[in-house]
């Protein structure tokens, strides 16, 4: 590959950028958080790496780089990063899907046990120095319904099956002719989501945000759930109709919710979620292990090696579907 110019959209002070020294010595890097930082290198650039900045700058830089042959985004989610020029171009787009899935799967297990064993009640009694035995729920034999069965969904399924739980999966494509995934008992298409939701003790949302998934879990879906169902969202906030969720939690139509993602982040002060006793909140940090950023950079370096050798890239996104 003759052209080794890489445009890195990031705050130049970010620590993980030092790892880019592992790229081949003939690589030319332009790093910055403004259009001006890339004017000298963009005309010859082959790669755009959006490490940490919003889609507005990515769109500007993409327009400046007529010879770009690959765009990589650190995150798994692509909402606000897809724009018509990129979608319509033949340039492949890859993302960080799979890099953070194990941690998200562990968070889901933690959330399930939090509600099944009523850890909030234990902490409240301990703080009040009260000895108050109560009954808990055994999760073995219960059912987890996964909305959006991709890499994160499989990470969840692997871990909950180890607890003896049954797994149902909702996929855009619907059920395959033959179910070849030993983790999943049954696969549903979007038109049968109410049927799946009615069977689930825990509804785990891992779907990406696309026009088709925005608001797909709303009032009708909460009405279809069991009254003791728990909703866990580690996908994207707007996949759930937030107002409908607040209503369902307030009126105890469902048992509870564990949320790592929200419509607005940071979650604004005074939001109803802060006051609800049946909600467990995570500040979009369920995958923030001490080395999560290092893992993301290592994945890019491995991807770049494949690109440099002319090998197929991993995590190639269907830009029209958005994942």
- In this structure, the answer to whether residues 157 and 201 fall within a common structural domain is yes
Task: Copy the structure tokens of residue 190.
Answer: 């979007």
- In this structure, the answer to whether residues 132 and 265 fall within a common structural domain is yes
The DSSP 8-state label assigned to residue 135 in this structure reads -
Residue 44 annotated in active site: no
Domain-embedded: residue 319: no
SS3 of residue 291 by DSSP? coil
| pLDDT score of 55 | 72
CA-nearest of 169, 205, 201, 206 to 188 is 169
- In this structure, the answer to whether residues 233 and 122 fall within a common structural domain is yes
- In this structure, the answer to whether residues 58 and 132 fall within a common structural domain is no
- Count of domains observed in the chain: 2
Q: Could you say which of 69, 161, 253, 284 is catalytic? A: 284
- DSSP line for 262-316: -SSSSPPTT-GGGG-TTEEE--S-TT--TTHHHHHHHHHHHHHHHHHHTPPPSSB
- In this structure, the answer to whether residues 202 and 163 fall within a common structural domain is yes
Q: Could you say which of 22, 26, 265, 311 is catalytic? A: 265
pTM for this entry: 0.92
- In this structure, the answer to whether residues 274 and 180 fall within a common structural domain is yes
The CATH number of residue 260's host domain is 3.40.50.720
Residue 106 annotated in active site: no
Residue 284 annotated in active site: yes
Q: Could you say which of 171, 199, 236, 242 is catalytic? A: 236
* Residue 16, domain extent: 5-97+291-309
Residue ranges of alpha helices (H) inside 225-291 are 242-250
- In this structure, the answer to whether residues 66 and 156 fall within a common structural domain is no
Residue-level pLDDT, tens digit, the chain, 323 residues:
456 899 999 999 999 999 999 999 999 999 999 999 999 999 999 999 999 877 789 999 999 999 999 999 999 888 888 999 999 999 999 999 999 999 999 999 999 999 999 999 999 999 999 999 999 999 999 999 999 999 999 999 999 999 999 999 999 876 665 667 899 999 999 999 999 999 999 999 999 999 999 999 999 999 999 999 999 999 999 999 999 999 999 999 999 999 999 999 999 999 999 999 999 999 999 999 999 999 999 999 999 999 999 999 999 999 998 88
SS3 of residue 221 by DSSP? helix
- In this structure, the answer to whether residues 260 and 120 fall within a common structural domain is yes
- In this structure, the answer to whether residues 72 and 217 fall within a common structural domain is no
- In this structure, the answer to whether residues 110 and 257 fall within a common structural domain is yes
């Amino acid at each position: 590959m003759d052209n080794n110019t890489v445009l890195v959209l990031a705050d130049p002070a970010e620590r993980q950028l030092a790892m880019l020294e592992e790229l081949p010595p003939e690589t030319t890097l332009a790093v910055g958080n403004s259009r001006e930082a890339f004017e000298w290198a963009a005309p010859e650039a082959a790669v755009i790496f959006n490490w940490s900045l919003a889609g507005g700058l990515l769109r500007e830089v993409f327009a400046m780089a007529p010879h770009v042959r690959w765009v990589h985004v650190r995150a798994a989610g692509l909402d606000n990063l897809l724009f018509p020029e990129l979608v319509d171009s033949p340039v492949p787009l890859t993302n960080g899907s799979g890099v953070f899935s194990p941690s998200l799967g562990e968070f889901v297990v933690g959330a399930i046990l939090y509600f099944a064993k009523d850890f909030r009640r234990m902490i409240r009694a301990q703080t009040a120095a009260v000895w108050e035995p109560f009954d808990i729920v055994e999760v073995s034999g219960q059912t987890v319904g996964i909305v959006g069965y991709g890499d994160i969904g499989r990470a969840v399924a692997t871990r909950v099956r180890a607890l003896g739980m049954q797994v149902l999966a909702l996929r855009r494509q619907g059920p395959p002719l033959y179910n070849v995934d030993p983790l999943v008992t049954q696969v549903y298409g979007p038109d049968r989501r109410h049927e799946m939701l009615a069977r689930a003790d825990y509804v785990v949302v891992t779907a990406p945000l696309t026009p088709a998934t925005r608001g797909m879990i709303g009032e009708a879906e909460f009405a279809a759930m069991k009254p003791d169902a728990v909703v866990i969202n580690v996908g994207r906030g707007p996949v759930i109709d937030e107002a409908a969720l607040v209503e369902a939690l307030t009126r105890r139509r469902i048992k509870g919710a564990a949320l790592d993602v929200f419509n607005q982040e940071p979650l604004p002060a005074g939001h109803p979620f802060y006051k609800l006793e049946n909600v467990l909140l995570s500040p979009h940090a369920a995958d923030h292990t001490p080395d999560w950023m290092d893992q993301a950079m290592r994945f890019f370096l491995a991807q770049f090696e494949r690109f440099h050798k002319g090998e197929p890239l991993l995590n190639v996104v269907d830009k029209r579907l958005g994942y």
